[in-house]
Amino acid sequence: MNLLILIMTAIGLICSGVPGLFYHRRSATGQHVAMAINVVASAVGMAAVLFHDIPRVAAEGWHPVCSLPIGKLALSLDDMSAWFLLPIFFISALGSVYGLGYWPQRKHPVDGRKLRLFWGLMSGAMVLVVLAANSVWFLIAWEIMALSGYFLLTTEDGRPEVRQSGWVYFIATHLATLCLIVFFVMLRIYSGSFHLWPRALVGLPVGVLTALFLLGLIGFGFKAGLVPLHVWLPAGHANAPSHVSALFSGVMLNMGIYGIMRLVVMTGNPPLWWGVVLISVGMLSAFSAITWAMAQRDFKRLLAYSSIENIGIITTGLGLAVLGLSVDQPIWVALGLGGALLHTLNHSLFKPLLFMGAGGMIHSAKTRDMESLGGLAARMPAVFCVMLLGSAAIAALPPLNGFVSEMLIYLGFFQTLHGSAAATWAAWVVPALALVGAVALMTFVKLTATCFVGQPRSAAAAGAHDPAATMLWPMILLAAACVLVGAFPVLLVGLLDHAIAAWVPSHRSIPLVSIINFWWLTALALPLMICAAGIAWWIHRCRRSVPETIIGTWDCGYAAPSGRMQYTGSSLMQTMAVIFRRILWRHEQPPEVHGIFPRPADYACNTPDPLLDRVAEPVLKKVGQILESARILQSGSAQLYMVYILLILLILLMTR
Amino acid sequence: MTTFIGISLQAVLLTLLPPLLLGIINKTKAGFVGRRGPPVLQVYYDLLRLVKKNVVISSTTTWVFLAAPLVSVASVVLAGLMVPLGPTAAPIHFKGDLIMFAYLLALGRFFTTLAALDTGSSFEGMGAARELTFACFSEPALFLALLVLVKLSGALSLSAMLLPASHVRIGSTASAALVLIAVSLFVVLLAETSRIPVDDPNTHLELTMIHEVMVLDNSGPLLGAQIYASSVKLLILAAFLLHVVLPLKPALVGRDWGLMLVGLVAVAGIIGAVESLMARLQMRFVPTLLVAACLFSGFGFLLIL
């Protein structure tokens, strides 16, 4: 029953942008209709997931009468899918409300309707991806999602940098789909059916299993943005409208994680080295991405890199769960997978929050360069509060939600010290996670400090103001969700335990509640929140009675300090940039100083994506040059192309 | 009953003892240069005087500047409630509190550095940058030390892992590992509490400081809160270190409380001696020192694997 409701909501989401197409390009009615459909469909969908008893473990299937040559339209719902459905509905609805203020049809008559059409299409397609129980339908939904993603990223296709980043995304998503097509074809050959997701493939040769794992990991890894497959992500997220970045970062990356999670349990008992690969890739992504994030000046690129970091942490947790399955340590599985799933959800809360806040800044100050901002806290107090909260949550500070999931992953890795001797090396992940956490804290202090506190560094920043209520309320709701999950994790642990039980093939999972007493987190969150309230009251009283003297900042006697002289984000991470210069691999042009009376000199430094800039682009250019000779086949005449098709069909028939 | 006394004793010690440690450090330093020095209780007098004073705040700052000192105190006291100060378990102990402990300290750092940048002064920005950078190297050292303790005790709570740490037989491999992490924890303590050779709490040159420069614009009760928070941090990290090195026996509660108190005074004395005998390192060498601390705990962990 609830599967049927979910299918209806998916259809509702897909169609939500269609009525708007029939309205005039300057009419605001279309966007309100789209928003209303989206919010209602999402609310119904969330209710169906939360308040309906999902069949535990056993999947609920739905096979309608219509059956196509490629297989039945089979959809199914289990607790794992349910977990991934929640953020899709939540972020899609909040984003469409946010869009009313951020991308109003009145101001964007050309691309507003397009954006909302593909917004609905992509949200609905993601629901179908998570529900698909047949690989052909999975691929169809996957491609609808990927292609509508392309049109969303290139909303402002008039700008060259948008087209450029859209093009990189297009190539990346096609490479991903290519790998997935091969993956699903192999799966069909060796499992004998299109049915998803197989959970007990036995008797396959090791080579085939390895190929399946690697193909799936690459295909889904492109979408999740694992290093080194992340090259499309930073520029894509930075150049898209902010609520689109929120949907991408908060929800679409999860689809890659979803695929990897389903993939690793297809044999029932994954080999140990799969876990090793996942942990290595995860830590590589987390560490390199947070280092790159630290060095960014464009705050949306910074957030995009931080998404890669979080995906890395999620993958590391998943890797621990895979290790746990292969050496039969259910406690590792519970903590690793529990941490990974909870972190997926948490990332879907705080990252859209941060992207929406970034949108508010762009909306108001018209720049993405954080070093021309500053002092926004006094001008956009509401956005400052939610951004501060989002930054603290993503830096995993208690009592917010990021802390809960990172704690589970930490504890999981501490557990590897006991139990099985096969994986004692895994404990070395703990100091690496600590390093990543410390750099993440630095990155987010840099983000909030450079944008919000101090004095404005430009006139645009000085004239900034809080955005409209339609943009603020989605952020406030997300911030409240971050606090709620952080202070009352018990609310979600039940759902989480069901999702873990649905994932573990042998049905021998340990519930998280029996490992950790989550009430302690609540017990500690409450005094912290009482302290916060007390501090707020004290500040309020101070401000009212004004016992303090207000003067300028101590400037060491310098007569005319200006906003431009403040410590910038770049100076804040200067030492780290020197220490990690081999990872950052930045372009630097030091000033040339000659003679006793040197002329004025310039210093320039920028941090493009090292892999895209130094590896992917040169290699692809070379490949392009080699393939130039194949152009001879492409004459432009339709008749010749028909001949090719005829020949290929003949060859295929002959080799049958 | 013993537990109740232990818990109340810890709460009292945690709130009242910290400024004394600063007093002992100052007394030791004065002794090394042949002065009589300020009274041991001077820091208490200073705090009392600061609380009574008026607040001067910068026109650039926002509410974060007012909130930060209070958040520091709240987070560090809450973290301190998880560390056993004596031979009995800490007032708060649960599975996973070691992560909570580390991240509560990070919460304090988040707000202190943000408040430093809030003033818009480059000096305070410099201090914040150094604090954040050095934390990137001291956190892994701390977590490696935690790994050793978790491996030795099999527990995931600070109370449960620190108390048996002191029962390790002298001369075993485990005791060698404990010596290595003790060195590492001592360096982390010096870095986290902004002591020589990482930072000089007494200098008057803003360019060369870390913690003191971050709180340069704080005054009155706000400054008092910052000083108090950093002294509590000193106390809890010193207690952490002492549990690793002191041979406590659970049967002799009274003796162990005495031993811990003497140990705390001794740690303060050693810090004072280090401050008197060493020069502050150049800033660019501080990460090297902290990486050395990571290596000490890393090798300690290798020993017991």
Same domain, A485 and A427: yes
Q: Given an 8 Å threshold on Cβ–Cβ distance, is A417 in contact with B150?
A: yes
What percent of chain A stands above pLDDT 70?
95
Chain A residue numbers with beta carbons less than 8 Å from the beta carbon of B136 are 435, 438-439, 442, 576
ipTM: 0.96
Share of chain A above pLDDT 90, in %: 60
A284 exposure class (CB count in 10 Å sphere: 0-12, 13-18, 19+): middle
Tens digits of residue pLDDT in B288-299? 999 999 999 999
A129 and A105 belong to one structural domain: yes
Same domain, A376 and A235: no
| pLDDT at residue number A57 | 42
Residue A61 has pLDDT above 70, yes or no: no
Please check the confidence at residue A649 and state whether its pLDDT lies above 90: yes
pLDDT below 50 — which residues of chain B? none
**Angle, to 10 degrees, between the axis of helix A206-224 and the axis of helix A253-264?**
160
Distance from the A285 Cα atom to the nearest Cα atom in chain B, whole angstroms:
17
Are A244 and A302 found together in one domain?
no
Secondary structure class of A61 (helix, strand, coil): strand
* pLDDT of A145: 96
Please report whether residue A18 resides in a domain.
yes
Q: Given its phi and psi angles, is residue A636 left (phi above 0), alpha (psi -120 to 50 degrees) or beta?
A: left
In tens, the pLDDT along A215-249 reads: 999 999 999 999 999 999 999 999 999 999 999 99
Residue A248 contacts residue A237 (beta carbons within 8 Å): yes
A229: number of CA atoms within 13 Å, CB side?
25
Residue of B nearest to A549 (CA): B56
Q: What is the pLDDT of residue A418?
A: 85
Statement to judge: residues A237 and A303 lie in one domain: no
Q: Are residues A530 and A423 in the same domain?
A: yes
Q: Residues A10-21: what's their mean pLDDT?
A: 91
Residue of A343, A391, A406, A445 to mutate, interface with B, max B Cβ within 10 Å? A445
- Tell whether the model's pLDDT for residue A357 goes beyond 60: yes
Average the pLDDT over A37-61 and give the result.
Answer: 77
User: Considering only alpha carbons, which residue of chain A is nearest residue B154?
Assistant: A418
- Same-domain status, A344 and A253: no
pLDDT band at A53 (very low <50, low <70, confident <90, very high): low
Q: Is A542 on the interface with B (CB under 8 A)?
A: yes
Q: What is the pLDDT of residues A131-159, one digit of tens each?
A: 998 888 899 999 999 999 999 999 998 99
Residues 612-651, chain A, touching B (beta carbon < 8 A) = none
- Of residues B57, B120, B139, nearest to A438 (C-beta): B139
Chain A partners within 8 Å of B70 (Cβ):
531, 534-535, 538
pLDDT band at A595 (very low <50, low <70, confident <90, very high): confident
Residues 365-424 of A with CB under 8 A from B: 374-375, 377-378, 384, 388, 392, 395-398, 403, 406-407, 410-411, 414-415, 417-418, 424
Q: What is the pLDDT of residue B42?
A: 94
Please check the confidence at residue A169 and state whether its pLDDT lies above 90. yes
Which of A407, A554, A556 has the CB atom closest to B96's CB atom? A407
A453 and A375 both lie in a single domain: yes
Q: What would the mean pLDDT of A349-378 be, rounded to a whole number?
A: 93
Q: Does a structural domain hold residue A449? A: yes
Residues A245 and A166 in one domain: yes
Q: Is residue A108 part of a domain?
A: yes
Count of alpha carbons within 13 Å of B148, Cβ hemisphere only? Answer: 32
User: What's the structural domain count of chain A?
Assistant: 2
- pLDDT for res B251: 67
Query: Chain A neighbours among B 140-179 (CB < 8 Å)?
Result: 140-144, 146-147, 150-151, 154, 156
Q: Is A603 a member of any domain?
A: no
> Is residue A551 one of the residues assigned to a domain?
no
The structural domains of chain B, with segments of one domain joined by +, span 2-304
Q: Is A427 on the interface with B (CB under 8 A)?
A: yes
pLDDT one-digit tens code per residue, A517-574: 899 999 888 888 888 888 888 877 776 665 567 777 777 767 667 888 888 989 999 8
Report pLDDT for A301: 95
Which 562-621 residues of chain A touch chain B by CB within 8 A?
Answer: 563, 565-567, 571-576, 579
CB-count burial class (<10 Å; 0-12, 13-18, 19+) for A591: exposed
Distance CA(A228)–CA(A109), nearest Å, equals 38
Whether residues A241 and A303 share a domain: the answer is no
The shortest CB-CB distance from A572 to any of B96, B128, B139 is to B128
Task: In whole angstroms, give the CA distance from residue B11 to residue A272.
Answer: 47
Q: What is the mean pLDDT of chain A?
A: 90
The full 3-state SS of A543-560, as one line of letters, equals: HHHCCCEEECCCCCCCCC
Structure tokens belonging to residue A112: 């507003």
Please report the pLDDT score of residue A65 as a whole number.
Answer: 45
Pick the residue with more confidence: A102 or A542?
A: A102
Domain limits for position A466: 269-543+570-590
Q: Is residue A76 within 8 Å of residue A62, measured between CB atoms?
A: yes
Asked if residue A395 has pLDDT above 50, the reply is yes
What is the spatial distance between Cα B305 and Cα B302, in angstroms, rounded to a whole number? Answer: 5
- Nearest of B226, B236, B227 to residue B158 by alpha carbon: B236
Count the Cβ atoms, other than its own, within 10 Å of residue A584: 19
The Cα–Cα gap between B199 and A645 comes to 74
Residues A305 and A242 in one domain: no
Q: In chain A, which residues have their Cβ closer than 8 Å to the Cβ of B139?
A: 434-435, 437-438
Question: Which positions in chain B touch A542 (Cβ < 8 Å)?
Answer: 55, 66
Give the pLDDT confidence of B240-280 residue by residue, as tens digits: 999 998 877 766 778 888 889 999 999 999 999 999 999 88
| A396/B103 CB distance under 8 A | yes
| Assigned domain for A194 exists | no
Q: Under an 8 A CB cutoff, do B74 and A531 touch?
A: yes
**A62 and A320 Cβ atoms separated by less than 8 Å:** no
| pLDDT tens for each residue of A275-289 | 999 999 999 999 999
> Would you state the pLDDT for residue B219?
87
Nearest Cα residue to A356 out of A483, A477, A233, A225: A477
pLDDT exceeds cutoff 70 at A602? yes
Q: How confident is the model at residue A1 (pLDDT cuts 50, 70, 90)?
A: low
- At residue B1, the pLDDT reads 63
pLDDT for A216: 95
- Name, in order, each residue with C-beta under 8 angstroms of B90's C-beta and a sequence gap of 6 or more: B10, B81, B82, B83, B84, B158, B159
Q: Number of Cβ pairs closer than 8 Å across A and B?
A: 228
So what's the pLDDT on residue A261? Answer: 95
Q: For position B6, what pLDDT does the model report?
A: 81
Q: What is the pLDDT of residues A204-221, one digit of tens each?
A: 889 999 999 999 999 999
DSSP letter (8 states) at residue A628: G
Looking at per-residue pLDDT, the higher value among A57 and A380 belongs to A380
Residues of A in contact with B142 (CB under 8 A): 434
Q: Do A531 and B133 touch (CB under 8 A)?
A: no
Give the residue from chain B lying closest to A532, CA to CA.
Answer: B71
DSSP H or E stretch at residue B241:
helix B220-245
Residues A169 and A301 in one domain: no
Which residues between 33 and 72 in chain B have a beta carbon less than 8 angstroms from any beta carbon of chain A? 54-64, 66-67, 70-71
Rounded to an integer, what distance in angstroms lies between the CA atom of residue A535 and that of residue A454?
Answer: 21
Site of tokens 């190297």: B137
A104 prior amide bond cis, ω within 30: no
pLDDT number for residue A419: 76
DSSP code, position B178: H
pLDDT tens track for A321-345: 999 999 888 999 999 999 999 999 9
Identify the pLDDT of residue B48.
Answer: 94
Q: How far apart are CA A454 and CA B102, in angstroms?
A: 28
Residues of chain A with Cβ-Cβ distance to B63 below 8 Å are 539
Buried b (16+ CB within 10 A) or exposed e, B83-101: bbbbbbbbbbbbebbbbbb
Per DSSP (E only), the strands in A476-572 are 549-551
- A406 neighbourhood in chain B, CB within 8 Å: 99
Q: For residue A482, report the phi and psi dihedrals to the nearest 5 degrees.
A: -60, -45
Mutate to test the interface with B, among A435, A442, A528, A544 (most CBs of B within 10 A): A442
Whether residue B197 is preceded by a cis peptide bond, meaning omega within 30 degrees of 0, is yes
